[in-house]
Amino acid sequence: MRSVSVLNHKGGVGKTTFTGCIAQALSLIGFRVLVIDNDSQHNLSTMLGCGICNPNIRDVYLDLFGNAPKVFLQSIRKTELDNLHIVPSCSELCADDVKDIFALKNILSSCGLERFYDFLLIDNAPGLDKLQISSVYACCEIFVPIELKQFAVDGIVEMEKKLASEHPNGAKITKIIPNFYKNTIRQNSFLLALQKLFPEKVVQTPIPYDSVFDELITENKILFLHRLASRAAAYYIKLVHELFEKSEEDLWNTIKKKRDERRSEEAKERFFNKNKY
């Protein structure tokens, strides 16, 4: 099982949208995916149609009776996609809930998740407190979505230094994903700076700014099933190809087939509902 912590101590860089879209794409092409919403804003839980429910990730951290692995398994919820499951969050979640930064790692190991899932993705709140660090130790690598701005570039340099000095045995940054890309001269200068600072870690497929993401969240729709013709979907499929070394042609064909099947099901449902009475 490949485990990834999606992390940036700066807010507003698109971590949740990135996590949700990547998880949906992987599940649509047949992989078994579990995501953990490790953010009190619980936006990923909402995005994947789960919302707030109990037990959730906070209940796992707060377990006082040695039943955390059982509570964790009970907290796993299905989503609209067959291969995609989520451990939801809640608004009360905070760093003080984490008594041991190695607890999540130990819990995941006890559950034997590799028997059930191919990928684990953890979406984190901004910051580098005990919540985020617990995910760093629970995963094998870190993906960092980032805006192409000076403060963001400086921030990721600081974040890597802090992780290396204070948590040298935790996961390392393996991929940096530029987000909200508009192909301006200023953004391209920051992109070049990132590539020099982090050689071979910055992906070649920056995610463009696209209003379709706001529409999807508002309408609770899935990018690849409802907006496959969008620019955003095309770039995300390229990104999945780059991050996970999957054939781009196979990705397109498989996802298009799933999209067509969904359209057929929805059309059939509309027909029967219209002629029900």
CATH 3.10.105.10 fits 2-274, yes or no: no
Q: How far apart are CA 231 and CA 210, in angstroms?
A: 8
Q: How far apart are CA 191 and CA 8, in angstroms?
A: 17
Residue 103 CA, chain-centre distance (Å), reads 21
> One digit per residue, pLDDT tens: the chain, 277 residues?
999 999 998 888 899 999 999 999 999 999 999 999 999 999 999 999 888 889 999 999 999 778 999 999 999 999 999 999 999 999 999 999 999 999 999 999 999 999 999 999 999 999 999 999 999 999 999 999 999 988 888 889 999 999 999 999 999 999 999 999 999 999 999 999 999 999 999 999 999 988 888 888 777 789 998 899 899 999 999 999 999 988 888 999 999 998 998 888 877 777 667 666 5
Q: How far apart are CA 60 and CA 124, in angstroms?
A: 16
pTM: 0.93
How would DSSP label each residue in 241-257? HHHH---HHHHHHHHHH
Residue 167, number of CB atoms within 10 A of its CB: 15
For tokens 């990928």, the residue is 119
- Segment 71-80 long-range contacts (CB within 8 Å, at least 24 positions apart): 72/107, 72/108, 72/111, 73/111, 76/34, 77/50, 77/53, 79/48, 79/49, 79/50, 80/48, 80/49, 80/222
